[in-house]
Structure 1
Amino acid sequence: MLPDEPRSSTGPAPEAGLPGCYRHPGTPTGVSCTRCERPICPQCMVTASVGFQCPECVGAGHAGTRRPTTRFGGASSADGGLVTRLLIGANVVVWVLAAYVLTPRLGQTWSLFSAGRDILGGPAGIADGPDQWYRLLTATFLHLEWWHIGLNMLVLFWLGPPLEEALGRLRFLALYVVAGLGGSTFAFLVAGDWMNSVGASGAIFGLIGATIVMQLRNRGPLAPAVAFLVFNLIVTFSRPGIDWRAHLGGLVLGGLTAAGLMYAPRERRGLVQGLAVAGAVAVEAAMLLIGMSLYGS
């Protein structure tokens, strides 16, 4: 070969003319994002149903995807009964502590106890002031007899998962707590001059009321839920020693709260549901303050 003859190329074909990756300009590529058409190199391309996409378009697509929700707007989850099981576990732990470990101290300090100013030594318990208002909540987790917690937890195990699956975890927990506090505050309003009771029955009756509301909303069969409610009301008013005030307060507040959660219009669901829960809490606060004016110092 003579020195002035052109050399033949034996290497790969030059990539001059190919655009550089929009993230790595020094890397030429012949592949473009199927959405924004920007050039992307193998390091950046994400496999799509058709072709490849850049990381930004993939992220934007995920951001625009609606999160799956429950029937009434809660976050959907694979385990629809988690909160129910946690509530049952909490009740069982408190029962064991109260009945076998911290006896009788826990039962005395956590019960729904109130003695008005006209009682010797009063006011005491809830009527004594804000330092004792915690009893309104702790009493809903307190059981002293095995049959009492057994019956309440059996109903919670039965009614809880369908409601939790329909409402979502947060809304279901709010419903349970609001119903329990509704039973406690109504009992204090009616009998705060002298009372002492325990149990999750107010919250349980709230779930019964919520189940009836859900059946109405879904146009499902009402007879089983109504029959169960009637049976429990008969037991409540026919047997001595049962705090009917807590049962009735939980039923009404739980049912009304459930109606707000389940009948909220889709376009303003979050706002209406928040107002429903806040309204129930406001009613309970009003009952507590009226009770304090009647029985407190």
Structure 2
Amino acid sequence: MSDALVPPDGPIGAEPETPVCARHSDRPTRLRCTRCDRPACPDCLRDAAVGKQCVDCVNEGRRSVRSPRTLVGAEQSDGRVIITPVLIVLNVLAYVVTVFQSGSPFNNDRSDLFAATSMIPELTAQGEWWRVLTSGFMHFGLLHLALNMAVLYVVGTQMEPELGRLRFSAVYFLSLLGGSAAAFYFGTVCQQLAGASGAVFGVMGALLIVWKRKKRDISTIVVVVAINLVSNLFTNASLLGHLGGFLIGGLLTLAMVRAPQKNRNLYQLAAVVAAAVLIGGMLWLRATELDTAAETIAEIVRTCSSN
């Protein structure tokens, strides 16, 4: 047996025990994260600006870096849309049901579903309030549906990534309700209304505001909107419904765009609530007016009958 002294760190040339990955205790490794210096196996390392970092450090770095935002404060996305195609599918499905019930792709307004969900002011004022919303998914024939869905696809794919899914949905549905409320409040009680035009015009109004804010050329949008509105004068389309949707969508988006960064979400929520209150107020006032008129007419009829 040798009496030579053994170095305190073990015999010269001996290798220390191999460390194991901080996330996988069964994987020995001599690699380390350049940020936290913990042992990490190749599966747990990611390329970084300098060296390699473990997945924990990479995720922590992502959380500390603020994601890019759009004009209204929505998180910048990769451009993929979900709400727009879902809305198109819902409109198409509703149309298919009405065609199946009526047996005609052009006279589908004769179906039971169309009769129960389209906007009929007199019935709406009597308590059938679902018509204010459901009428936005009914269409008079294939051409009406195709035109609305084509515009919705073009404009929706532009605006959904810009507004974000939640804000885009708010603009779409409040524009739909705004169009129904405008036609209900200012229009006659005899006209049957249906179509997503109010919502589509609202999204076009939103696009106009966003492009103007970005200093992009808005002449094409202005021309398209103007042609559509003027054409309403020569068709049975509801000019009031289109204007109502356009104004609600444009003004709501303007409020979102101009909201200060501090407490931006709160300001935008207040704008959404204000729009909803305005629409609800218009519906309630008109319903009250129609109810009073109905009572007056009934009283006159009873008086004449007694005499």
Superposition TM-score tier, normalisation by shorter sequence: 0.7 to 0.9
Can you list the C-alpha shifts for 1:182-232, whole angstroms capped at 9, x where unaligned? 011122222474442111111122122222222321222232221222211
8 Å Cα contact 1:107-1:144 kept in structure 2:
no
Correspondent of 1:177 among 145, 166, 173: 173
Q: What corresponds to 2:106 in structure 1?
A: none
Does residue 261 of structure 2 align to residue 263 of structure 1? no
Query: By how many angstroms is 1:4 displaced?
Result: 6.9
Q: What corresponds to 1:168 in structure 2?
A: 164
Residue 149 of structure 1 aligns with an amino acid whose one-letter code is: L
Can you list the C-alpha shifts for 1:30-56, whole angstroms capped at 9, x where unaligned? 98754456xx23459745533455665
Correspondent of 2:125 among 115, 124, 127: 127
Query: By how many angstroms is 1:62 displaced?
Result: 2.7
Can you list the C-alpha shifts for 1:218-264, whole angstroms capped at 9, x where unaligned? 2222322212222112111233x222221121111111112112222
Residue 115 of structure 2 aligns with an amino acid whose one-letter code is: Q
Aligned length: 279
CA 1:48–1:105: 2 relative to 1, 3 Å: same
**CA distance in 2 between partners of 1:95 and 1:51 (Å):** 58
Can you list the C-alpha shifts for 1:1-23, whole angstroms capped at 9, x where unaligned? xx57559887962649x999989
Residue 72 of structure 2 aligns with an amino acid whose one-letter code is: F
Identical columns (%): 33
Alignment of 1:213-228 (within 5 A): 213-228=209-224
8 Å Cα contact 1:206-1:254 kept in structure 2:
yes
Q: What corresponds to 1:82 in structure 2?
A: 82
**CA distance in 2 between partners of 1:31 and 1:104 (Å):** 70
Does residue 200 of structure 2 align to residue 200 of structure 1? no
What are structure 2's unaligned runs of at least 5 residues?
103-109, 293-307
After TM superposition, which residue ranges in structure 1, 4 or more long, deviate above 6 angstroms?
Answer: 7-11, 18-25, 27-32
Residue 256 of structure 1 aligns with an amino acid whose one-letter code is: L
Residue 95 of structure 2 aligns with an amino acid whose one-letter code is: W
Residue 109 of structure 1 aligns with an amino acid whose one-letter code is: A
Q: TM-score, normalised by structure 1?
A: 0.79
Q: Which of the two has greater helix per residue? A: 2
Q: Which moved more, 1:191-200 or 1:222-231?
A: 191-200
8 Å Cα contact 2:182-2:240 kept in structure 1:
yes
Residue aligned with 2:179, SS? helix
Q: What corresponds to 2:243 in structure 1?
A: 248
**CA distance in 2 between partners of 1:75 and 1:101 (Å):** 43
Does residue 269 of structure 2 align to residue 274 of structure 1? yes
Residue aligned with 1:197, SS? coil
CA 1:97–1:58: 2 relative to 1, 3 Å: same
Backbone CA RMSD of aligned residues? 3.5
Higher relative contact order, chain-length normalized (CA < 8 Å, sep 6+): 1
Q: TM-score, normalised by structure 2?
A: 0.76
What are structure 1's unaligned runs of at least 5 residues?
116-124
Residue 112 of structure 1 aligns with an amino acid whose one-letter code is: M
**CA distance in 1 between partners of 2:218 and 2:21 (Å):** 63
Q: What corresponds to 1:108 in structure 2?
A: 115
**CA distance in 2 between partners of 1:72 and 1:159 (Å):** 17
Q: Which moved more, 1:183-192 or 1:250-259?
A: 183-192
Residue 148 of structure 1 aligns with an amino acid whose one-letter code is: H
Q: What corresponds to 1:13 in structure 2?
A: 14
Residue aligned with 1:254, SS? helix
Residue aligned with 1:266, SS? coil
